[in-house]
Amino acid sequence: MRSEMPGGRAWKRSTGYAAYAACVCTAAYGLMKLAQALGANALADKDPLPPDLRQRLLARDPLFVAGHRVLFTVALVGIVIALATVRPWGRRFPRWILLAATWTAGIFMIARSFGPVGYGFIGDTLVLTGLRPPPQQHAELARHLARWDLMLWSPFFLLWGLSWATTAWHFTRMVRTGRRKTGPGL
């Protein structure tokens, strides 16, 4: 029973899983953005964007290429932050930065997955049911992108956000109790 309690070995292992899941999701997203910056389509045609922005994206507008490079760099930082919450070298980082970054990423990703102001479970459902019809000239494209977002992007962002939020929650508990992970068996 001791391993089931906070501070036990099983609890310590489970706290690391969320951070590693956040790391994997961040790496996958970052690698996709790097591939897009280097010229690959890598799901670029499935990005839920308005038609004019979508055309610029697919035409490799320099602003979008630069944006992909920035997102790749942000993903690298995200990987370091996720790992810093569970690895011993993470003690070098101020706790408030790790807490702010993990909670912000988790909340942002979960909000994106539900999409109260655009794409996401809510926005996609509204488009696909006709409750929020897209402009007539782009209706088929909007429905196509809404289906892709509903099947791929929204679940991915939900998983990614829950990984970050769980990492933030566990890290917050460790900070409050004064414990930081120290071993490789995380």
**Is 108 part of a structural domain of the chain?**
yes
pLDDT at 135: 84
pLDDT at 18: 95
- To which residue do tokens 């049911």 refer? 129
**Is 183 part of a structural domain of the chain?**
no
**Is 22 part of a structural domain of the chain?**
yes
What total of structural domains would you count in the chain?
A: 1
Local confidence pLDDT in tens for the 186 residues of the chain: 333 434 545 545 566 899 999 999 999 999 999 999 999 988 888 888 888 888 999 999 999 999 999 999 999 999 999 999 999 999 999 999 999 999 999 999 999 999 876 789 999 999 999 998 888 888 999 999 999 999 999 999 999 999 999 999 999 998 888 765 444 433
**Is 118 part of a structural domain of the chain?**
yes
| Containing structural domain, residue 164 | 2-177
**Is 91 part of a structural domain of the chain?**
yes
Residues 6+ apart with CB under 8 A from 88: 181, 182, 183
The structure's pTM equals 0.85
Residues 6+ apart with CB under 8 A from 114: 120, 121, 122, 154, 158
pLDDT at 114: 95
86 vs 40: CA distance, rounded Å: 33
**End-to-end CA, the chain:** 19
**Is 136 part of a structural domain of the chain?**
yes
**Is 111 part of a structural domain of the chain?**
yes
**Is 81 part of a structural domain of the chain?**
yes
pLDDT at 160: 98
